[in-house]
Structure 1
């Protein structure tokens, strides 16, 4: 009888050790999986939801996430829309707990693609940077800058790295 108790105790200890090891492995795999998730993937999963952003210039923006790609997101299902480079985001609130993997198209659509669409549509915009704002039409979209026509015959070049957001001029 004592032998049965001894073997039962050893079996229970081994079972507990196996469960603990399994839990540790699951936690390690979960942490490893999460380490590969990029912010853009979290943002894409929030399409259709209202999110809040604090930008690197300290401004806050809130709206429905209409579209997103690896380098940018578009807020504003109704009313004026705002294009925000992902690199200009300091904080995000309102993200769902799940993550959606970026499609190949979303991975390749850079901020330049979105800015060229604004230039093509001759949209009046306000370009916000850490140094201030410039209003006008997006004209030239270069490799790393845009030109904003502020008045007839006058324009300013804005490095893409300085842009914190591009808003529709009301």
Structure 2
């Protein structure tokens, strides 16, 4: 009988130790998941199909081609859509995979930097804005500041010429939900 009691006591101690290890492991996993940023999951999903629902009510459904610190580039049947991450209300299609931490250059390639590239190439764009009154603006991105852009408004099928520009509007970047280049 003494041996039975000894073995029972040892088994109980091992079970308690296993429970402690399991609890520590679960806590470590929770801590790691808590530190995961959406951009790390997005960079791991490059080349995968995603569906986005945006703050302005728009939907973008296609292949994720790029992901920066605050933007996504999705290719769908209508072309490529540049979407600020802040405009995304819902993402469908992400896996649990994570990308390695971004490099120094990648961390600095924010939405304003990408929009400056759009301004340099002078292509006509369509811009979707947040809110009921937002709608869609067309024109050419003239300048991009730290937190806004200037859009020369003209028909998307016209070149930016003095006679075709109907005015220049300033769009705060947080108001932007999607940008598509024409053509």
Give the TM-score normalised by the residue count of structure 1.
Answer: 0.94
Deviations 1:15-68 (CA, angstroms, capped at 9, x unpaired)? 111111111111100000111111111111110001011111222111111111
Q: Does 1:134 align with 2:137?
A: yes
Deviations 1:124-158 (CA, angstroms, capped at 9, x unpaired)? 11011011111111111111111111133422111
Shift of 1:79: 5.3
2:159 matched residue in structure 1: none
Q: Does 1:167 align with 2:170?
A: no
Aligned residues of 2:144 and 2:150 also touching (Cα < 8 A):
yes
Instruction: Give the Cα separation in 1 of the matches to 2:3 and 2:57.
Output: 69
Q: Which runs of 5+ in 2 are unaligned?
A: 155-161
2:53 matched residue in structure 1: 54
Pair 58,102 (structure 1): closer, same or farther in 2 beyond 3 Å: farther
Instruction: Give the Cα separation in 1 of the matches to 2:60 and 2:29.
Output: 32
Instruction: Give the Cα separation in 2 of the matches to 1:30 and 1:71.
Output: 26
Q: Which runs of 5+ in 1 are unaligned?
A: none
2:88 matched residue in structure 1: 89
Instruction: Give the Cα separation in 2 of the matches to 1:80 and 1:124.
Output: 14
Alignment partner of 1:146 out of 129, 149, 153: 149
Give the TM-score normalised by the residue count of structure 2.
Answer: 0.87
SS, match of residue 24 in structure 2: helix
Instruction: Give the Cα separation in 2 of the matches to 1:50 and 1:17.
Output: 45
Shift of 1:169: 2.4
SS, match of residue 99 in structure 2: coil
2:106 matched residue in structure 1: 106
2:158 matched residue in structure 1: none
Q: Does 1:158 align with 2:171?
A: yes
Instruction: Give the Cα separation in 2 of the matches to 1:20 and 1:3.
Output: 26
Shift of 1:101: 2.9
1:15 matched residue in structure 2: 14
Over aligned residues, Cα RMSD in angstroms?
A: 1.4
Shift of 1:168: 2.1
